[in-house]
Structure 1
């Protein structure tokens, strides 16, 4: 088993999977192996089906965890073991059709004003300015800020893709003042140890404190800033394909969800109940 895990890890690293994905896939394969009572090369489609049902019903896996477990097992058999199990007959979990939460511009302004630590506030401003994922934001380097082109370079984002996104004029001014005071290097937002960036947990806690202090009851998270960035751009008239590139989406289908969130198209609609009972408005 250890040899198989090592081989799978090597395969994934050769294919340039992110360290997080490698770690997650190996975790799921180890769990799958411990559940089985037979060698991996004797596994059938029913064994995989029974295991996925087990982690869903007995282990109460979320949809995303179940999908990841299924993907890890598929990788094991298709790429590492190269076994002819017809996995197309077994479909992964159906995706939830949930719309992401969006904050208004005023709500984001209130959160930023309530973020007491200046470095933490700058991280949140950067995430919103460029529609960045948290992991992308904390791993920015000084050289990723291009003041000439007014862009932020995102290195090896999700799917190991580089991209450029927007740099706000207001943010650039704040970052220059911050750099003059702190002289960070090489990370734009170093943690307690300057050789490492800020932790995700630190920023998540700072965001939640500021949200609560601002009196915002929406169950927003740091990632909500990314959804808000995309939605606000769409409401300004920016086309979907531009937003797709700024967010680093592989497929335009991932960006289409923001069509359901914009309010520009519905702002002029008169509610039929208001027309029916105008005196109660």
Structure 2
């Protein structure tokens, strides 16, 4: 059976979200095309080199490289049924996405810049009601 077909069959039964399954399939397709080896010949060293290539040659962010690592780990363990060694291919450290949160003073400053009073009332209502996501969207427009 084709390794991608086997991956998809395993993912169907995994309980992972559909977006995760699609992402894993996409990433594994790219990985297999890039390393250009038979699946039974893939080693942890190949995977390490591929992830290093993503990080330092293609300059992918830490979070993206870790997502490729997760997909490849799943493929390696579940589909290829090989033993994964976390110490050999650890998660990259240092990925701490900052939340999109403004300070209270920044929000008030932004609202006060609105040209019409109705906008100010709407934004103060959104902010005080806890609708910060909508407020952020409004600010980006």
TM-score, structure 2 normalization: 0.71
Give the whole-Å Cα distance in 2 for the aligned partners of 1:112 and 1:85: 52
Contact 1:44 1:85 in 2 (8 A): no
Select the structure with the greater relative contact order (CA < 8 A; seq sep ≥ 6).
2
Give the whole-Å Cα distance in 2 for the aligned partners of 1:82 and 1:39: 15
User: Would you say how many aligned residue pairs link Structure 1 and Structure 2?
Assistant: 132
Q: Say which is worse superposed, 77-86 or 50-59, in terms of deviation.
A: 77-86
Q: Which runs of 5+ in 1 are unaligned?
A: 138-202, 210-281
**CA separation of 1:37/1:19 partners in 2, compared to 1, >3 Å: closer, same or farther?**
same
Task: Compute the displacement of 1:87 (Å).
Answer: 4.3
- Give the structure 2 partner of residue 208 of structure 1: 140
Task: Compute the displacement of 1:80 (Å).
Answer: 2.1
Contact 2:7 2:79 in 1 (8 A): yes
RMSD of aligned alpha carbons: 3.5
- Give the structure 2 partner of residue 40 of structure 1: 39
Contact 1:70 1:92 in 2 (8 A): yes
Q: Which has the higher helix share?
A: 2
2:61 aligned with 1:129:
no
- Give the structure 2 partner of residue 29 of structure 1: 28
Task: Compute the displacement of 1:70 (Å).
Answer: 0.5
Give the whole-Å Cα distance in 2 for the aligned partners of 1:31 and 1:53: 15
**CA separation of 1:14/1:98 partners in 2, compared to 1, >3 Å: closer, same or farther?**
closer
Contact 1:74 1:87 in 2 (8 A): no
**CA separation of 1:207/1:4 partners in 2, compared to 1, >3 Å: closer, same or farther?**
farther
Q: Which runs of 5+ in 2 are unaligned?
A: none
TM-score, structure 1 normalization: 0.39
